[in-house]
Chains A and B, each alone.
Chain A
Amino acid sequence: MQNNLLASLKEHQNKLLTTWSQLLQANGSTDGATEEEESKEFAALLLDALHYSNGNTDSDELEKVHDLLIGISSSRGRRGFSPRENAQYLIAFKEAASKILSEVESDPSKLYTANLQLSTILDNMAILTFESYMKGREDVISRQIDEISEISTPVIRVWDGVVALPIIGTLDSSRTQVVMENLLQQIVDTGSSIAILDISGVPAVDSLVAQHLIKTVSATRLMGAECIISGIRPEIAQTVVHLGIDLTGIITKASLASALQTAFDMLQLTVVKRK
């Protein structure tokens, strides 16, 4: 008996849509035609669900509304709505529905029960939109992480037999792994005998980064190639010394240019100026 109230909202569908869109407009969180279509579909489906689910707050009908809502909120996300505006979308619906309920029912206790059910259902939906919004963002972030770690470790063939790898950003353990694998693979693929690791773009060399560099150099040597580390800025050199890291045994150069010069020397090549 008490459920008839929510079910009866279906009879006031048009009025509800009008009130809802007025509220959304008042909040300034609407973008016109696309939204109107979505809202119509959402309201129709939800009101149907309320009609058939008999006050049950997790019926199969409501599941269908959830699916639609997830689609709507990710589409709204792509259209540039903020999470706040997304939340307002449902809150405004609740407000509109609640307003209509109080117009058609005057018994406070029936009204109370109906509003409570309405709240439960719509609050659940609000959580859902929030989750799907977050999930959308997380997908983007994890895709970007993959992309960054790929684009940030290019191995460049600078000369016959010489490959260079500029490192930009922080060298943590997982990044080092990618760098090392890339470098070793390129040494094999290009048949290079010299690898230059340029660290101009690394903000700080602490003992962990140093250890990673030392490991990379050792691995390169095991493959029968020599590794030169270039791009050691003055402040990095001094800090490394104070820290007590021993980089003797490793060929280090201030710039990529001087590393290349050293590589030429090792390959017994000379660059001469044409007269």
Chain B
Amino acid sequence: MTTATSKEELLIVKEQDVVPLRNRVKEYGVKIGMSILNQTKLITATSELVRNLLKYGGGGKVIIESVSNGRDQGVRVTFIDNGPGIKDISLAMKDGYSTGKSLGLGLPGTKRLVNEFDIQTELGNGTTVTIIKWKNG
């Protein structure tokens, strides 16, 4: 069972919101003593998902939480937008697939960088992506 100990929510509406969010997520990692490597993976994943939220979801909110599962501590970040949603998730999760003339590495790459990855989406109703990076994961 994963339980949250502290939590905060940030509104993301413009490109300038990306760096403060990343710094905040990093602080959560530092607080639980996460290694530099895992911190870097976590903020890179955050960076990818928040850019998707801005670019495709038209902005939204991000929840950062300190979590624990009894054995390990970690950081959970949830990205919620009310954008158009994703038509075909399995396609979107493929390396190199992009509708935005980009590298198409954001979603599949993020999944490789974190320990837990969940994506929920509904056409016309938005997308929610949740990731967890464990301290020793």
Contact = CB atoms under 8 A, between A and B. Distances in A.
B40 interface: yes
Contact of A204 (B15, B22, B105): B22
Interface residues of A, number: 20
Contacts of B51: 206, 208
Contacts of A207: 48, 102-103, 105-106, 109
A118 interface: no
Interface string A181-225: 000000000000000000000011111101100000000000000
A37 interface: no
A239 B102 CA distance: 18
B109 A204 contact: no
Interface string A87-123: 0000000000000000000000000000000000000
Contact of B43 (A172, A173, A203): A203
B113 A239 contact: yes
Place the interface of chain B in its size category.
Answer: 20 to 34
A172 B15 CA distance: 9
Given A206-B47, A207-B48, A242 B102 contact: no
Query: A-side binding surface: helix, strand, loop or mixed?
Result: helix
Interface string B20-54: 00100000000000001101110110011001000
B92 to A, nearest CB: 14
Nearest to B38: A235
B95 interface: yes
B19 interface: yes
A211 B40 CA distance: 18
B85 to A, nearest CB: 21
Contacts of A245: 103, 105, 109
Interface in A228-275: 234-236, 238-239, 242-245
A109 B44 CA distance: 66
Contacts of A242: 41, 109, 112-113
Given A239-B113, A244-B112, 20 more contacts: A172-B15, A173-B15, A205-B44, A206-B47, A207-B48, A207-B105, A208-B51, A234-B37, A235-B36, A235-B39, A235-B41, A239-B40, A239-B41, A242-B41, A243-B44, A243-B48, A243-B105, A243-B109, A243-B113, A244-B95
Interface of B: 15, 18-19, 22, 36-37, 39-41, 43-44, 47-48, 51, 95, 102-103, 105-106, 108-110, 112-113
Q: Which 3 pairs between the two chains have the least Cβ-Cβ distance? A: A243-B109, A206-B47, A235-B40
11 contacts: A170-B19, A203-B43, A204-B44, A207-B103, A207-B105, A210-B103, A235-B37, A235-B39, A243-B112, A244-B105, A245-B109
